[in-house]
């Protein structure tokens, strides 16, 4: 009888924790908290621009630690909120300005500039809730890193 009670209590506690964790996953948090949960050391940036008037899209890579830090510093005070699957409305046929942070283990964070969207490892989608992103800063950042 004691064993059943202990197992039932463990099941109830585990279920309550899972519910709490599921609910809190969709709460707002600082961008820095998202980075901390990944435990990744980003080493490079991949810039992608949409095609303009018949020209092809441009993509280039920057492996400068200072530039990675500049972008992370810029994003650190923004707040993000995880999107539920039914809230994700990406249109694959529209090209966007993207900045992708990459680490040595293949972890990525994609910033879809025009959508104010953060995509973690191509699976988890976050909306920037206190945006939009500072467009002037982003344009200067992209221009200074254009190769």
Report the alpha-carbon distance of residue 121 to residue 105 in Å, rounded.
11
Domain annotation covers residue 86 = yes
Which residue range forms the structural domain that includes residue 52? 28-144
pLDDT for 93: 47
What does the radius of gyration of the chain's CA atoms come to, in whole angstroms? Answer: 19
pLDDT tens for residues 4-58?
A: 777 777 777 776 666 655 555 567 888 888 888 888 888 999 988 887 777 788 8
- Given a cut of 90, whether residue 66 has pLDDT beyond it is yes
Domain annotation covers residue 52 = yes
Domain annotation covers residue 18 = no
pLDDT tens for residues 75-122?
A: 988 999 988 877 777 665 456 788 899 988 888 988 888 888 888 888
Contacts of 136 (CB under 8 A, 6+ apart): none
**Residue 80: other Cβ atoms inside 10 A:** 24
Domain annotation covers residue 74 = yes
Helix 65-75, helix 135-144: angle, nearest 10: 180
Domain annotation covers residue 89 = yes
Domain annotation covers residue 12 = no
Do 107 and 121 form a contact (C-beta atoms < 8 A)?
A: yes
Domain annotation covers residue 109 = yes
What's the total number of domains in the chain?
A: 1
Q: What is the pTM of this model?
A: 0.74
């Amino acid at each position: 009888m004691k064993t059943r009670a202990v197992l039932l209590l463990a099941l109830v506690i585990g279920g309550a924790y899972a519910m709490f964790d599921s609910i809190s996953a969709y709460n707002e948090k600082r961008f820095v908290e998202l980075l901390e949960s990944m435990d990744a050391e980003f080493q490079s940036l991949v810039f992608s621009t949409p095609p303009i008037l018949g020209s092809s899209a441009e993509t280039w890579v920057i492996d400068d630690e200072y530039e990675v830090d500049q972008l992370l510093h810029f994003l650190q005070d923004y707040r993000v909120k995880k999107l539920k699957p039914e809230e994700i409305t990406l249109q694959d046929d529209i090209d966007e300005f993207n900045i992708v942070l990459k680490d040595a283990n293949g972890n990525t964070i994609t910033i879809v500039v025009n959508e104010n969207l953060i995509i973690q490892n191509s699976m988890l989608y976050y909306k920037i809730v206190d945006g939009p992103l500072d467009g002037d800063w982003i344009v200067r950042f992209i221009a200074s890193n254009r190769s």
